Structure 1
Amino acid sequence: MRTLKYIYSIGLVALLTSCANYLDVKPLESISDTQTIYDKTSSETAIRGVYSALASGNYYGTTFQSIGYLSGDNIQWTGSQSQVQEFINKKVNAENSTISGAWTAIYVTINRANNVLTKVPTVTDPLLTETLKNQIIGEAYFIRALAYFDLARTWGGVPIVTKPTASPTENRGIGRSTQAETYAQVLRDLEAAEPLLPATTDRYRATRKTVWALRARYHLYQKEWAKAEEYATKVLTDSNYRLLKPFNTFFASDARGTQESVFEIFYSANEPNAHRNQWQPQTNGGTRQWAPNDAIVALLNNPTIGGTRSTLVAKDNQNRWYGNLYYRTPASDPSYIIRIAELYLIRSEARVNQDKITDALTDLNAVRDRAGLVGITASTKDDVLLAIENERRVEFALEPHRWYDIVRTGRAAQVFNLSDANRYVLPIPAGELLIDKSLVQNKGY
């Protein structure tokens, strides 16, 4: 694994056909590194390359998301690879190829964003208007913020690289920042992105509203309750976003880009989303390598808990349950990064932590109502927090939230029976330690 942390600018403008849909620009051939970004067209090509990296199979296409839900307690592994079972057992080794693939993909994304942030500001093409230039730069800041957020919550502190990497040795010796410093980089990038982006609504491309949504999540993780509430409210008060009834409206019948979606990744028949193959059973052309476990199937099928969210699971011809969020043929299913339901539950949690119990219940019950459930009438802070935790489990049953939710709330020992706090972050991939002796492994690995 020689292309791990220090990703070259090679492939900067490698394109996914699907990503052309983001910018309505036809795909271009790859161009040399010496002239990667020099005019309007190459600037647009470069930002398309950043989205392509975000959508890649090892990032939001499949691998990184699988870390989030396999590490929780909703999913079972039906295959034979012991490395995947390590996540379910909460005993991940540094040699695990999944963490290596995700780490590499995230740093590829960061490096492409760094190229945009370094080179686009210097472009003088009159066709690249100031508004468009700002938008492209703002998108790169947003995606880099998301990438460092994912690194921080998964591995803790990581090396922070903010300049393009032109060779595999260029950034060796940087060492790791702390988790707090990594999260601080996230906030800096979000603050830089916000004024540059348009205040428009776009489900596939970062806008100012997308920044607000990620800031709400960021402040929730930081336990900055007032800020989390503030930024969630910015999105929730926008009429372009709303909860849809019934629950499966946002994904069933080939739906995409609905009002439920704040930010999702577009895929196509030419550039499919590999998630579908892992979830669907053999009779549907998949492998069913991972599947909902008995516990989440029971919760989803309980009419007082799952409600209409039972449509997330189905049975195959062998009477086995499988996840049905990703189902399309060909596999053009979107990857859902932020949904409006998450903003309601973020604000609910932020409000209850400010002792605004009535308002917190209003947000929680909005999500429950959308699932066809009656409202909760809990009256104590602890009861409402537990209700939110339980609601998030079923609302995002097949999405990569559960592991991170339980870790960030300090409940991993009780919920996962995981008392070793060293295991709340994953090990730095072993290959990274081999190629850069300045890196230090996480404790306990």
Structure 2
Amino acid sequence: MRTIKHIWSLGLLTTGILTVTACSNLLDVDPRSNVDSQSALTTAEGLDAGLNGIYDRLQNTALYGRDMLAVAEALADNAQATNKSGRLNNENRNIAGSSFGTTFAPGTWQSAYFAINQANLILDALPGVTALTDTNRRNSIRGQAQFLRALLYHDLMRIYAYDPGVEIAQNSRGGVPLLTTGVLNQGQITFPARAPIADVYTQIYSDLQGSINSFGRSAGSNGTLPTNGNLQAAQVLFSRVALYNKDYATAVKNATDAIAGTVKLSPNASYVGGWRAPRNPESVFELAYTTPENIGVNNALQTTYTTLVRVGDRTATGGFGDLVPNNAFIAELEAEKNTAGQALDIRRQLYELGTTGRGNAFIECTKFLGKNGIINLDNVPVIRISEAYLNRAEANAMLGNTANALADLNVIRTRSGLPERTGLTGDALLNEILRQRRLEFGFEGHRWFDLKRRGQDVIKTIPLTTTPNNVPYNDFRILAPIPVNELSTNKSVRQNFGY
């Protein structure tokens, strides 16, 4: 549990765009922190508590506790639903309205806007906390709030809006509503329309550059921890956002800055072990869970991905293994073999046969297998340093910088136990970069968004169904529906096409 446990009252907000009901206090703060709600955002401790509240919210099932990873995998072409609990079946079949919450359940939209409002309140309050004279701490607080707001807005854009450069103009309803001022009471509520896609990206860029500048002035602060927003995490995120924005020079620049940071790529021999450690050594931003924050047997990533309790032990059944790799994904992991016919790719070791305790056994993902042996309790790596290499490789390939793109591709290949590739150019080079991205981030929630940002069709190969439900890029299901509650509250917001 974080040093200061901070809970924001849900009574204040009923939808992502902020409907206010009766609420006596904005904050309930754990008494152990010695910060009460009267001093909520007027002290350094209160601001830290506010940040902790955002990290807590990111742990929710609707965000990085499950959906930003598992739902994104279910929608894409890496995974098949096993129907062992019934969860994620509709998402895996791409049923209209079953993505990141449903049409009637606010899900990710609401959780993200709650957290954005918290970041706004912190940034609004920070200049007035004159007693905070530690400039490192002040800059770290600002940097973390800006980083988190950028992450959340980009996640909303990835889910609910078309990505720059591949917009289907006749179907597009714009980006998402931009709220950059915090709401404390009913008189402060506004009901903005969806901002243009370019405007939302401008705001995200501004937050990320501001975050990088703030962290650059806060050496030695808690903003350097991977369980907090930090400089290296902001740089990798900026490279990601720029890649989505088809701004390849900016992607290269920020990826290069991140690669020069303190978190390094794991050596080949320790990569798999890093997923068994309490904290993944490749994480530049990771959500830390403690025992009271265990999501449990229904929705945790471990129970979602595997029936196993421990690596290599098929005698004990824990979770459901609702979402497992399909044959096509495993075939890609096993495509390159040694002379004995064994897969060269060490990432294949993170997928193993589950138990029969919930029915038929499947090969399952074991990236989230219980930190310190505690079932359903894993830290969640949100951003890993390997992304910086693959972001830079793809951006350089798009810029025609073939040698640089190939060099980064080979860094990932050799770390993964694969031989270097030589002579790749053009589409062959780009396709291998995208293939390595698929394998590197399998079951970490990238694949759906990577296909979407490139305007590619989603071709499903699901052996458990007789009619795989492909999703052409021009299908309306490429975007998630805006929740009905939001539409009824904010009349300025237009629903996505097709819903």
Normalized against structure 2, the TM-score is what?
A: 0.79
For the pair 1:161 / 2:182, whether they are aligned, the reply is no
For the pair 1:248 / 2:253, whether they are aligned, the reply is no
| 1:147-183 superposed Cα distances (whole Å, 9 cap, x missing partner) | 0010111101111111222357853531211222222
Question: In the alignment, residue 307 of structure 1 is paired with which amino acid?
Answer: D
- 1:49 corresponds to which residue? 53
- 2:480 corresponds to which residue? 426
SS at match of 2:289: coil
2:201 to 159, 178, 183: 183
Contact 2:85 2:322 in 1 (8 A): no
User: Residues of 2 paired with 1:284 and 1:11: CA distance?
Assistant: 43
User: Residues of 2 paired with 1:269 and 1:261: CA distance?
Assistant: 21
The alpha-carbon deviation at position 257 of structure 1 amounts to 4.3
| 1:266-288 superposed Cα distances (whole Å, 9 cap, x missing partner) | 11222125212222217431121
User: Residues of 1 paired with 2:435 and 2:236: CA distance?
Assistant: 22
User: Residues of 2 paired with 1:167 and 1:40: CA distance?
Assistant: 22
Kindly report the root-mean-square deviation, in angstroms, between the aligned alpha carbons of the 2 structures: 2.8
User: Residues of 1 paired with 2:272 and 2:259: CA distance?
Assistant: 20
User: Residues of 1 paired with 2:26 and 2:318: CA distance?
Assistant: 33
SS at match of 2:210: helix
For the pair 1:115 / 2:133, whether they are aligned, the reply is no
For the pair 1:146 / 2:146, whether they are aligned, the reply is no
User: Residues of 1 paired with 2:488 and 2:34: CA distance?
Assistant: 34
2:261 to 227, 231, 238: 238
The alpha-carbon deviation at position 56 of structure 1 amounts to 2.2
CA 1:286–1:317 in 2, change beyond 3 Å: closer, same or farther?
closer
Question: In the alignment, residue 212 of structure 1 is paired with which amino acid?
Answer: Q
User: Residues of 2 paired with 1:337 and 1:178: CA distance?
Assistant: 27
Question: In the alignment, residue 195 of structure 1 is paired with which amino acid?
Answer: N
- 2:226 corresponds to which residue? 203
Contact 1:113 1:143 in 2 (8 A): yes
CA 1:44–1:417 in 2, change beyond 3 Å: closer, same or farther?
closer
- 1:92 corresponds to which residue? 96
SS at match of 1:212: helix
User: Residues of 1 paired with 2:490 and 2:86: CA distance?
Assistant: 27
Contact 2:455 2:473 in 1 (8 A): no
The alpha-carbon deviation at position 322 of structure 1 amounts to 1.6
SS at match of 1:336: strand
SS at match of 1:394: helix
Question: In the alignment, residue 48 of structure 2 is paired with which amino acid?
Answer: E
- 1:280 corresponds to which residue? 306
CA 1:306–1:390 in 2, change beyond 3 Å: closer, same or farther?
farther
User: Residues of 2 paired with 1:302 and 1:248: CA distance?
Assistant: 19
Contact 2:352 2:364 in 1 (8 A): yes
- Consecutive unaligned residues of structure 2, counting only runs of 5 or more, are 1-9, 162-174, 309-315, 338-342, 461-469
SS at match of 1:218: helix
User: Residues of 2 paired with 1:360 and 1:192: CA distance?
Assistant: 28
The alpha-carbon deviation at position 116 of structure 1 amounts to 0.6
Question: In the alignment, residue 495 of structure 2 is paired with which amino acid?
Answer: Q
Question: In the alignment, residue 322 of structure 1 is paired with which amino acid?
Answer: E
User: Residues of 2 paired with 1:414 and 1:291: CA distance?
Assistant: 17
Contact 1:6 1:168 in 2 (8 A): no
SS at match of 2:33: coil
Alignment size in residue pairs? 432
CA 1:108–1:268 in 2, change beyond 3 Å: closer, same or farther?
same
CA 1:411–1:175 in 2, change beyond 3 Å: closer, same or farther?
same
CA 1:12–1:306 in 2, change beyond 3 Å: closer, same or farther?
farther
CA 1:207–1:168 in 2, change beyond 3 Å: closer, same or farther?
same
For the pair 1:4 / 2:15, whether they are aligned, the reply is yes
Once the two structures are aligned, what percentage of the paired residues are identical?
A: 28
The alpha-carbon deviation at position 377 of structure 1 amounts to 2.5
The alpha-carbon deviation at position 78 of structure 1 amounts to 2.1
The alpha-carbon deviation at position 381 of structure 1 amounts to 1.1
The alpha-carbon deviation at position 397 of structure 1 amounts to 1.0
SS at match of 2:383: strand
User: Residues of 1 paired with 2:262 and 2:491: CA distance?
Assistant: 51
The alpha-carbon deviation at position 364 of structure 1 amounts to 0.5
SS at match of 1:412: coil
- 1:360 corresponds to which residue? 405
CA 1:410–1:199 in 2, change beyond 3 Å: closer, same or farther?
farther
User: Residues of 1 paired with 2:385 and 2:472: CA distance?
Assistant: 31
Question: In the alignment, residue 119 of structure 1 is paired with which amino acid?
Answer: A
- 1:271 corresponds to which residue? 293
Between 207-216 and 413-422, the greater mean CA deviation after superposition: 413-422
SS at match of 1:196: helix
Contact 1:199 1:208 in 2 (8 A): no
Contact 1:299 1:306 in 2 (8 A): no
Question: In the alignment, residue 250 of structure 2 is paired with which amino acid?
Answer: K
The alpha-carbon deviation at position 88 of structure 1 amounts to 2.4
User: Residues of 2 paired with 1:109 and 1:115: CA distance?
Assistant: 10
The alpha-carbon deviation at position 13 of structure 1 amounts to 4.8
